[in-house]
């Protein structure tokens, strides 16, 4: 140490050497020795920077999926029976240019290795379900469409996941969902056991979402465009509205081969087992259309009346039909002779906006007429009894039909206008055998548990429990009557026999049948005089009797108030969870 202090030049040399070493280290970090060996290129560095290889693979798979294989036996079979291919259906259903596919490359792919990390598809079987977004007359929807040409619509590796995903999307985005069913919609096939190597306990994951959609008021519209089997049948029947193509549609729990071994019914065709004459007349399917294009048009029509979800108002459109239009023909449409019938559909079409009535379920439950219409451009539900069938007496199927309609309107916030002419529930052994009262009471609970506004026009008869249910289910009652109205606990025909049974029997026993008939006629005339509807209005038993010609104006004024005041409040209560309608 003492030596260093005595030699300053030595200290300076030592500091210079240290600085030189540090500078060399920094230089090596900034510019490594060019003589060092370069690193070997990685496999990924051979791939294009713009990911064009991946995009090319996607484009190839999409092109294969969008191009029908004319030699595929499934496609050939599809065309031979007159059905559209799945992508042709999508194109016809949706507004031009609005299709956005989800899961466009899902399916089974055979890959060929062409490099260390490169590969290309050499064979591709798309998922037998096409789904995505689109528009129906400008309305955004999600949809799912079966491809019967691939495994007859049975489950494949991606179908269940795709189905559940699109059901969840409809809920999350609160937009309508359309289901084009042709096959089993992902239902099972025994060949799945060989593929997987085991058999499974059947799951049903998508129905949690389906029930949630139905009760949320997310429109579910389904079309039967081929044989709807098992799960496919269940999916379309669960919809708010369903329609079947008359030329190609059928629906059943299991096909003819399974039925043959289970019930020994042989030689059944798809149509015999579950065609339109079966399921469009028993209420399983709502409506019948002549072909696939007709199905698509009916779904567009129904959707035009519905909101996107139960937390929104139904869509209102412009109306060029004057709300003060009078209809003098309605004054004479109900015959003065009570035994004569009239056409109730003529009343409906005369009162609502021109060409706005869309009937639902015309081929089943024919004692009742239900559907959708508009007053002043505002959607309403329509319920009417049909005096041309069973004299309008409400039977089991008619009750089921109205019951379903009430729930439909309740989840979509659509008010109801009903034209009432009901002599009571159907009677007789057939009525008892078909559980008319059971279904009638179920209808009563629905009338009293739903909360949609109801306006009633009494066209003619209101008798018994059935009449009371329809007219007394809201407080205060909102109703008017036509001059043709008549009401009571029982129809006069038969009621006199019951109320004056002893008197009439005694007259017949003592004075003969002719005197009995005379007395019966006297009683009938007296009761008819006392049943003058004006007498009921005198006691405020009916709030108002109107001129039938102004029925449209009265209904339009009521509907206008409902849309301006009541429905906005109802929607807020739906959002707040105070009202929870139930369709399912």
At 145, give phi and psi (nearest 5°): -135, 125
Higher pLDDT, 405 or 192: 405
Bigger pLDDT: 401 vs 513: 401
Range(s) of the domain holding residue 359: 328-482+546-576
Picking from 386, 491, 394, the residue whose alpha carbon sits closest to that of residue 447 is 394
Mean per-residue pLDDT, 286-312: 97
Quote the strand ranges of 165-293, DSSP E: 177-183, 220-229, 241-245, 250-252, 287-289
Encode pLDDT of 430-479 as tens digits: 999 999 999 999 999 999 999 999 999 999 999 989 999 999 999 999 99
Query: Under 8 Å CB-to-CB from 376, ≥6 apart: which residues?
Result: 319, 323, 353, 556, 559, 560
**Closest listed residue to residue 273, CA positions, set 285, 257, 261:** 257
Burial profile 489-511: b = 16 or more Cβ within 10 angstroms, e = fewer: eebbeeebeeeeeeebeebbeee
Clarify whether residues 137 and 262 are in a common domain: yes
pLDDT at 74: 87
Tens digits of residue pLDDT in 241-280: 999 999 999 999 988 888 999 999 998 999 999 999 999 9
Q: Is residue 115 part of a domain?
A: yes
The Cα 287–Cα 301 span in angstroms is 12
Identify the residue whose tokens are 């991606």: 158
Element (H or E) spanning 459, and its range?
Answer: strand 454-463
pLDDT (0 to 100) of residue 46? 74
Residue 191 reports pLDDT greater than 80? no
Residue 210 lies in a domain: yes
Taking alpha carbons only, the member of 347, 353, 289 closest to residue 317 is 353
According to DSSP, the residues that pair with 488 across neighbouring strands are: 463
- Tell me the pLDDT of the chain averaged across its residues: 90
Quick check: is 7 in a domain? Answer: no
Of 237, 269, 303, the residue that ends a domain is: 303
Angle at CA 477, nearest 5°, toward 475 and 481?
170
pLDDT at 27 over 90: no
Shared domain check, 352 and 289? no
Count up the domains in the chain and report the number. 2
Residue 15 placed within a domain = no
Same domain, 282 and 337: no
Phi then psi for 210, rounded to 5 degrees? -60, -50
- Please give the pLDDT value at position 418: 98
Task: Work out the average pLDDT over 521-537.
Answer: 91
What is the model's pLDDT at position 2?
Answer: 46
Same domain, 351 and 434: yes
Cβ atoms of 160 and 144 closer than 8 Å: no
Structure confidence by residue, pLDDT tens digits, 34-80: 454 555 556 566 788 899 989 999 999 999 999 988 888 888 989 99
| Confidence bin at 157 (pLDDT 50/70/90) | very low
| Percentage of the chain exceeding pLDDT 70 | 90
H or E element at residue 457: strand 454-463
Do 151 and 214 lie in a common domain?
A: yes
The CA–CA distances, whole Å, from 99 to 140, 173, 570 equal: 10, 17, 34
What is the DSSP code (8-state) at residue 202?
P
**583: pLDDT strictly greater than 70:** yes
Kindly state whether residues 248 and 112 are assigned to the same domain.
yes
Asked if residue 412 and residue 362 are part of one domain, the reply reads yes
Residues 246 and 379 in one domain: no
Does 335 lie in the same domain as 299? no
The pLDDT of residue 114 is 87
pLDDT in tens, 351-385: 999 999 999 999 999 999 999 999 999 999 999 99
CATH number at residue 393: 3.90.226.10
């Amino acid at each position: 140490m003492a030596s260093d202090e005595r030699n300053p030049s030595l200290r300076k040399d030592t500091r210079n050497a240290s600085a030189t070493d540090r500078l060399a280290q920094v230089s090596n970090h900034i510019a490594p020795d060019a003589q060092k060996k370069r690193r070997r290129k990685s496999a990924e560095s051979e791939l294009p920077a713009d990911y064009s290889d991946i995009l090319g693979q996607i484009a190839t798979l999409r092109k294969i999926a969008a191009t029908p294989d004319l030699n595929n036996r499934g496609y050939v079979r599809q065309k031979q029976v007159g059905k559209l291919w799945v992508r042709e259906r999508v194109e016809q259903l949706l507004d031009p240019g609005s299709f956005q596919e989800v899961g466009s490359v899902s399916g089974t792919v055979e890959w060929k290795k062409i490099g260390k990390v490169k590969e290309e598809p050499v064979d591709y079987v798309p998922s037998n379900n096409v789904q995505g977004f689109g528009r129906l007359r400008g309305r955004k929807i999600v949809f799912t469409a079966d491809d019967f040409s691939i495994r007859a619509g049975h489950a494949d590796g991606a179908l269940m996941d795709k189905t559940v995903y699109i059901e969840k999307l409809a809920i999350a985005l609160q937009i309508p969902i359309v289901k084009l069913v042709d096959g089993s919609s992902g239902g099972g096939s025994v060949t799945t056991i060989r593929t997987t190597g085991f058999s499974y306990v059947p799951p049903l994951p998508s129905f949690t979402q389906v029930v949630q959609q139905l009760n949320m008021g997310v429109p579910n519209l389904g079309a039967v465009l081929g044989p709807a089997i098992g799960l496919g049948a269940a999916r379309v029947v669960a919809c708010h509205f369903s329609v079947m193509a008359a030329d190609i549609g059928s629906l059943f729990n299991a096909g003819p081969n399974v039925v043959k071994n289970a019930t020994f019914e042989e030689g059944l065709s798809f149509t015999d087992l579950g065609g339109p004459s079966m399921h469009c007349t028993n209420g399983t399917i709502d409506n019948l259309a002549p072909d696939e294009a007709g199905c698509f048009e009916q779904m567009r029509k129904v959707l035009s009346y519905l909101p996107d979800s139960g937390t929104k108002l139904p869509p209102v459109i412009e109306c060029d039909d004057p709300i003060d239009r009078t209809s003098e023909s309605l004054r004479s449409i109900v015959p003065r002779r009570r035994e004569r019938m009239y056409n109730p559909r003529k009343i409906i079409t005369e009162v609502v906006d021109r060409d706005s009535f869309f009937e639902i379920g015309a081929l089943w439950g024919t004692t009742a007429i239900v559907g959708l219409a508009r007053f002043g451009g505002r959607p309403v539900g329509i319920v009417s009894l049909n005096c041309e069938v069973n004299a309008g007496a409400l039977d089991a199927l008619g009750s089921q039909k109205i019951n379903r309609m009430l729930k439909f309107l309740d989840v979509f916030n659509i008010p109801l206008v009903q034209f009432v002419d009901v002599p009571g529930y159907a009677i007789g052994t057939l009525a008892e055998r078909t559980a008319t009262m059971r279904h009638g009471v179920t209808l009563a609970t629905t009338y009293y548990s739903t909360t949609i506004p109801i306006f009633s026009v009494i066209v003619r008869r209101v008798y018994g429990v059935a009449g009371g249910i329809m007219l007394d289910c809201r407080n205060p009652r909102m109703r008017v009557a036509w001059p043709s109205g008549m009401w009571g606990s029982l129809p006069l025909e038969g009621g006199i026999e019951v109320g004056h049974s002893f008197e009439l029997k005694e007259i017949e026993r003592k004075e003969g049948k002719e005197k009995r008939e005379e007395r019966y006629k006297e009683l009938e005339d007296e009761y008819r005089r006392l049943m003058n509807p004006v007498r009921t209005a005198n006691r405020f038993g009916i709030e108002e009797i109107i001129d039938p010609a102004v029925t449209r104006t009265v209904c339009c004024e009521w509907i206008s108030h409902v849309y301006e005041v009541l429905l906005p409040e109802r929607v807020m209560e739906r959002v707040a969870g105070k009202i929870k309608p139930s369709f399912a």
